[in-house]
Amino acid sequence: MTDSALRLIWIYPDLLSTYGDRGNVLVVERRARQRGLQVERVDVRSDQPVPTSGDIYLIGGGEDRPQRLAGERLRQDPGLGRAVENGAIVFAVCAGYQILGHEFIDDRGERTAGLGLLDVWSTRGEGKRNVGDIVAEPDPRLGLPTLTGFENHQGVTHLGQGVSPLAQVTVGGGNGTGEGTEGAWRDTVFGTYLHGPVMARNPLVADLLIKLALDVSALPPADNTWYDALRAERIAAAQTAS
């Protein structure tokens, strides 16, 4: 972050905002403002260019055809790739996560190229769709507590050598490869299957993105009372159900 405002970019709300993804934008914005930061939020529609000057880019989930359209439009737009080269932070959920990888299966059942910003590729699962509460233990290097979320996907995401799993699943499906991994990350680029939305269930993920953007190791404290109550309830509910 080079000047006074944190630039928060929401990519393609017209295509990739199906499961309350707006919540991630609202939580990051709220928690940044609570720390006294100015926030400049830009919602980029899929007929608009992706700005290269953002600090944090958020990408949500979507239906199969919008996912293909979003992938096509982002592949033709150098904005996000340039931003990542400049060290910007990207956090993508579900369909958006798949788009960040090398390829995914589109609505026509065809393999479609993604952006290659994460060394992952996605296929369509043969088994039952993963729907329900999920609990996962995050990569210790991220300094995050247990992750909770709601997943709803048929996709299976395979991780290459160039990424680490975001977390290890204790309840739920996650990446769906049978190895118990959930999500993927490398440097400042993150992908996950967690809805809920993930930031509402895990506000410290929002804080992590803000810390990376500010290049600081800690933020002033925020009141987490209701988040913590929700987290405890959902983690307990998932564990009881499993």
Partner 1 sequence: MSAHPDPAAPSASLNARAKLAVTAGKAAAAVSRAAGRGSGSVIGGRVALKLDPDLLRRVSEGLDVVLVSATNGKTTTTRLIAEALKAAGPVVSNALGANMPAGITSALADSGEARFGVIEVDEKYLNMVARDTNPKAIALLNLSRDQLDRSSETRMLAEKWREGLAGTEAVIIANADDPLVTWAASSCKKVIWVAAGQAYKEDAWSCPSCGGVMQRPDEEWFCPSCGFRRPQPHWALQGEFVVDPQGNPWPIRLQLPGRANLSNATSTAAVVSVFGVHPQIALQRMESVQAVAGRYESVLVNGREVRLLLAKNPAGWLETFSLIDPAPAPVVLSVNALSADGTDTSWLWDVDYERLVGHPVFVMGQRKLDLAVRLEVAGVQFQVIDSIQQAVAMAPQGRIEAIANYTAFQQLRRDVATPN
The number of residues making up the chain comes to: 242
Q: Which of 85, 110, 127, 131 binds partner 1 (CB under 8 A)?
A: 131
- Under 8 Å between Cβ of 102 and 119: yes
Q: Which of 106, 115, 56, 94 is nearest to 191 (CA)?
A: 94
- Listed in sequence order, the DSSP H helices in the chain are 22-34, 64-75, 79-85, 95-100, 198-201, 203-214, 225-241
Does residue 239 belong to the site contacting partner 1 (CB under 8 A)? no
Spatial separation of the C-alpha atoms in residues 97 and 24, rounded to whole Å: 14
Minimum Å distance from CB 112 to partner 1? Answer: 14
Taking contact as CB under 8 A, which single stretch among the options 77-85, 158-166, 177-185, 191-199 is the one that binds partner 1?
191-199
Taking contact as CB under 8 A, which single stretch among the options 64-72, 83-91, 162-170, 172-180 is the one that binds partner 1?
64-72
Number of residues that bind partner 1 (CB under 8 A): 33
Minimum Å distance from CB 60 to partner 1? Answer: 10
Nearest to partner 1 of 45, 111 (CB atom): 45
Minimum Å distance from CB 46 to partner 1? Answer: 6
Does residue 196 belong to the site contacting partner 1 (CB under 8 A)? yes
Spatial separation of the C-alpha atoms in residues 127 and 119, rounded to whole Å: 24
Q: In what helix (H) or strand (E) does residue 105 lie, and over which residues does it extend?
A: strand 103-105
Q: Which of 1, 5, 20, 158 binds partner 1 (CB under 8 A)?
A: 20
Q: Which of 1, 5, 113, 230 binds partner 1 (CB under 8 A)?
A: 230
The DSSP-derived string for 136-197 is: EEEPGGG----EEEEEEE-EEEEE-TT-B-SEEEEES-TT-SSS-EE-EEETTEEEE--BTT
Nearest to partner 1 of 131, 216 (CB atom): 131
Spatial separation of the C-alpha atoms in residues 171 and 135, rounded to whole Å: 5
Touching partner 1, residues 21-60 (CB under 8 A): 21-23, 26-27, 30, 45-47
Q: Which of 37, 11, 40 is nearest to 24 (CA)?
A: 11
Does residue 240 belong to the site contacting partner 1 (CB under 8 A)? no
Q: Which residues form the interface with partner 1 (CB under 8 A)?
A: 13-15, 17-23, 26-27, 30, 45-47, 63, 65-66, 69, 131-132, 150, 152, 195-197, 200, 226-227, 229-230, 233
